[in-house]
Structure 1
Amino acid sequence: MDRNADATRRRLLDAATFEFAARGIAGARVDRIAAAAKSNKAQIYHYFGSKDALFDAAFSDMATGTVNEVPMDASNLPEYAGRLFDSYERRPWVQRLVTWYLLERGDAAAEPMAGIVQSNRDKVAAISDAQHRGLVTDAFSAPELLGLVLHLSLMWAMSLPEYLVVLGPVDVEQKRQLVVDGVTRLVR
């Protein structure tokens, strides 16, 4: 692919990411995506084939970017959870895109994204190794522990407004510290 094609594809992915995060697959419009990318609808179909395939590409791009931006150190899961929290704070649209993925794709996705599945398998293997070396708790299986760490890092993004009202004001540093402290206690 030449540079112009790469640049066009990137602009379409970026525009689609924000459109899908805001409106989901059903509410997104390819004409808005094309306009935001300074392209046209024909380019969307040329590069991606369909609106659903464009969503899958945008979701995969976001997930791969997160995996690459926030590598996991199984011997320091609290800091990993904190860096995931930081990543979600910098990119609040990630949680919205994940929510739409779960709502509109979830189990109906054509097939799990192989790269993300492999990344999770690698993380589970690293956690299992850290458990065998006594660096983290074995009170949970490695897959369970990974799930708990991932979900704690998303805690604030997925909190109900009614809970946040009861909790009261919490600044970003306090939110991050709670995630790190929670995972610290979890892995002992």
Structure 2
Amino acid sequence: MAWDTEGTRTRLLDAGVRQFAALGFAGARIDAIARDAGINKERVYRYFGDKQGLFAAVLEHELGAFFDGLEIEDTTPEGIGEFAGRMFDRCLARPELPRLLVWESLELDAPVAVDSREPTCAVNASRICASVGGLGGAAAEHLLLSAISVVVGWWSLSRLTEVVLSDPASAAVRRGMVVDQMTALARAAGEAGRAG
């Protein structure tokens, strides 16, 4: 019987997502990843070389596609709020993504999947410029980073949300706040840009 190379690789990537999202690179163990995937740990080495290779492959696969289909469609401040809401929905469906973003920053010296992430970020920054009159390119990039930070903070700062929020588990309330606050921030940024 032929070995299902692609299926094995996919199972290892999926197990890597779960283990690395939960524990980061330093905390995840090859044995646990292989056990989670239901595959002999030798396959990790065969397909990815080592734990670093698997970590890089997981981040490339997951974060490279993070922004796929997430573009600002409505070039108004409300459109920026809705963009943040759709990003929130993506993270709600895949809570490993915000955690992997955090682990990328904590454990790597350089970002992964730059070739696939940078163009989408550039498109969204240019749409922010179009959405918010008077806002320059650098300010639009910072507003985009603020939107991403506001969204992923609910997951990446989960212990702090338990301290700050009286109902930290309400995704619907948090999503509404993200949309409203990013819309207001976009409006304020536009006013400041026009005044400056």
Letter in 1 for 2:163: V
Letter in 1 for 2:146: L
Aligned equivalents of 1:4 and 1:138: distance in 2?
Answer: 55
Give the gaps of 5 or more residues in structure 1. none
Aligned ranges for residues 57-76 of structure 1 at < 5 Å? 57-68=57-68, 70-73=70-73, 75=75, 76=79
Report the CA distance between 1:55 and its aligned residue: 0.6
Specify whether residues 7 and 72 from structure 1 end up closer, same or farther in structure 2 by C-alpha distance, changes over 3 A only.
farther
1:183 equivalent in alignment to 2:182: yes
- Of residues 138-147 and 177-186 in structure 1, the stretch that sits farther from structure 2 once superposed is 138-147
Partner of 2:104: 101
Contact 2:20 2:100 in 1 (8 A): yes
Aligned ranges for residues 10-159 of structure 1 at < 5 Å? 10-68=10-68, 70-73=70-73, 75=75, 76-105=79-108, 108-109=109-110, 113-128=114-129, 130=130, 135-139=131-135, 141-159=139-157
Aligned equivalents of 1:65 and 1:118: distance in 2?
Answer: 12
* Greater than 6 Å deviation, 4+ residue runs: none
Partner of 2:190: none
- Of residues 35-44 and 2-11 in structure 1, the stretch that sits farther from structure 2 once superposed is 2-11
Aligned equivalents of 1:40 and 1:73: distance in 2?
Answer: 45
Which string of whole-angstrom CA distances, capped at 9 and with x for unpartnered residues, describes residues 103-155 of structure 1? 111xx138663222232223223333x1xxxx324346221121111112223
Contact 1:74 1:127 in 2 (8 A): no
Letter in 1 for 2:21: A
Contact 1:34 1:41 in 2 (8 A): yes
Identity %: 33
Aligned equivalents of 1:110 and 1:163: distance in 2?
Answer: 26
Aligned equivalents of 2:148 and 2:46: distance in 1?
Answer: 35
Give the gaps of 5 or more residues in structure 2. 188-196
- Of residues 70-79 and 45-54 in structure 1, the stretch that sits farther from structure 2 once superposed is 70-79
Aligned equivalents of 2:165 and 2:50: distance in 1?
Answer: 43
Letter in 2 for 1:144: H
Aligned equivalents of 2:66 and 2:27: distance in 1?
Answer: 25
Report the CA distance between 1:86 and its aligned residue: 1.4
Question: Structure 2-normalised TM-score?
Answer: 0.79
What is the total number of aligned residue pairs between the two structures? 180
Report the CA distance between 1:20 and its aligned residue: 0.8
Aligned ranges for residues 166-181 of structure 1 at < 5 Å? 166-169=164-167, 171-181=170-180
Question: Structure 1-normalised TM-score?
Answer: 0.82
